[in-house]
């Protein structure tokens, strides 16, 4: 069996690693227990978490044992990594509820039967710690000047880094120490924005227990232009079907930029890499077939085969000129026109006032993304294969054609 490090590297997951040679050897020698943490900042995981879940799934398929950690303790503080402002403080009830939601969602991706994976909540130990005892146990292992130099705090300088947030690195480092003691955990994985926090845990294990452990980060889910992927006009792309429907989820991946198709196929599906490269090499109109494969495969993993088939059938009916989609009214439009003007001229709205009210009430969508700007101007990107779909209210569809 191939070394899982090579699998992750070939598919484009790996950003940084503490000691590649030793970690490769460890993967060859034993079944490695590793962990990834998920702080319960909402009641659903989102597309940004999905890449970590896929990395975890590849690790498990290669025979290694995941620990899925939900942050019932760290969630009380909030991770400052990559943020310019302080996270909203959650109540204990919200944190507990969100943790339970995360546990259910993670179980769709990871096999917990027969001890193949472990689910833990760091609130079980962090909430019981005595502050003075914690300072005496690990305080001397962290130097303030090194902590202040960490990337995870840099964006907080302008508005001020609170002492509350400053403790986050210590808490995450302590998690790694505790998991190593309890389960023999030897590897922490996470997004590349977690590198400083992961290094803190690796160092803490070395200083306290003289234990060799490792850190590995995966690349963040970004577009080819470097911007974060997984954001829609309505906010995050959620993995919960109640927050982002399987159809909306499918359509998001169906409409990714051509330049992002191969990367998404490699990171977010289990397709063999030969097939990923073949699909990613398609050009012009043919790349749309690769996008359909991407949308189907990702939706199948997240929502199941039945929902993926429903989303695919609905999309083909709507955009493929078959079924219900063939009967929807057509409205002529041009790039550079205001969407509201187009819809009024096309008799979709009786007046601009009606259109403004619906937009302000979040009742209008363009290609499955809510329109929030009454002055929205149509662009080339809005027209896939020369068409765009407007949804008015819950049931009325209109096809914009150039």
C-alpha to C-alpha distance for 319 and 154, rounded to whole angstroms:
45
Distance CA 60, CA 111 (A): 8
The alpha carbon dihedral of 379, 382, 384, 388 has a sign of: negative
| C-alpha closest to that of 268 among 306, 309, 222, 313 | 222
For 91, counting Cβ atoms within 10 Å of its Cβ (0-12 exposed, 13-18 middle, 19+ buried), the class is exposed
Q: Which residues pair with 188 in a beta bridge?
A: 35, 215
Tell me whether residue 214 is annotated as binding: no
Is the CA virtual torsion 33, 36, 38, 44 positive or negative?
A: negative
Q: Is the dihedral of CA 369, 374, 376, 377 positive or negative?
A: positive
DSSP-assigned beta bridge partners for residue 191: 218
Is 296 annotated to bind a ligand? Reply is no
Tokens 């991706």 -> residue: 109
Q: How far apart are CA 7 and CA 40, in angstroms?
A: 29
Q: How far apart are the C-alpha atoms of 398 and 172, rounded to whole Å? A: 50
The answer to whether 231 is a known ligand-binding residue is yes
Going by C-alpha positions, the residue among 255, 227, 240, 293 that lies closest to residue 381 is: 255
Asked whether the beta carbons of 101 and 43 are under 8 A apart, the reply is yes
User: For 250-265, b where at least 16 C-beta lie within 10 A, e where not — what string?
Assistant: bbbbbebeeebbbbbb
Closest CA to 262 of 248, 246, 247, 283: 283
35 a known binding residue?
Answer: yes
Q: Pairing between strand 364-366 and 118-121? A: unpaired
Which residues line the annotated binding site? Answer: 35, 168, 172, 231
Which residues line the annotated binding site for ATP? Answer: 231
Which residues line the annotated binding site for L-tyrosine? Answer: 35, 168, 172
């Amino acid at each position: 069996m191939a070394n899982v490090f090579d699998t992750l590297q070939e598919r484009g997951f790996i950003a940084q690693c503490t000691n590649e040679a030793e970690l490769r050897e460890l993967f060859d020698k034993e079944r490695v227990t590793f962990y990834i943490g998920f702080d319960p900042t909402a009641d659903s995981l989102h597309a940004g978490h999905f890449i970590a879940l896929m990395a975890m799934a590849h690790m498990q398929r290669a025979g290694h044992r995941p620990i899925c950690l939900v942050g019932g303790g760290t969630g009380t503080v909030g991770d400052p990594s990559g943020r310019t402002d302080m996270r909203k403080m959650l109540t204990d009830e919200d944190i507990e509820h969100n943790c339970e939601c995360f546990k259910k969602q993670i179980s769709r991706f990871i096999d917990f039967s027969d001890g193949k994976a472990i689910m833990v909540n760091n609130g079980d130990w962090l909430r019981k710690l005595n502050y003075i005892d914690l300072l005496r146990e690990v305080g001397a292992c962290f130097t303030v000047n090194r902590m202040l130099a960490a990337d995870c705090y840099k964006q907080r300088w302008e508005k001020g880094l609170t002492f509350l947030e400053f403790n986050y690195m210590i808490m995450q480092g302590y998690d790694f120490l505790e998991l190593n003691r309890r389960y023999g955990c030897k590897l922490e994985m996470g997004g590349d924005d977690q590198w400083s926090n992961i290094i803190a845990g690796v160092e803490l294990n070395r200083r306290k227990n003289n234990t060799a452990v490792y850190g590995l980060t995966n690349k963040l889910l970004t577009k080819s232009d470097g911007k974060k992927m997984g954001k829609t006009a309505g906010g995050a792309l959620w993995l919960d079907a109640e927050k982002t429907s399987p159809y909306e989820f499918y359509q998001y991946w169906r409409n990714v930029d051509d330049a992002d198709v191969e990367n998404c196929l490699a990171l977010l599906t289990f397709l063999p890499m030969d097939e990923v490269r073949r699909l990613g090499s398609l050009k012009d109109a043919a790349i749309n077939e690769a996008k359909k494969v991407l949308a189907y495969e990702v939706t199948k993993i997240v929502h199941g085969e039945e929902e993926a088939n429903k989303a695919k059938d609905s999309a083909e009916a709507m955009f493929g000129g078959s079924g219900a989609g063939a009967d929807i009214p057509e409205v002529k439009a041009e790039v550079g026109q205001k969407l509201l003007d187009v819809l009024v001229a096309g008799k979709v709205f009786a007046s601009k006032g009606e259109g403004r009210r619906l937009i302000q009430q979040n009742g209008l969508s363009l290609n499955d993304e809510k329109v929030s700007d009454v002055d929205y101007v149509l662009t080339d990107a809005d027209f896939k294969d020369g068409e765009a779909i407007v949804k008015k209210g819950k049931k009325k569809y209109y096809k914009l054609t150039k």
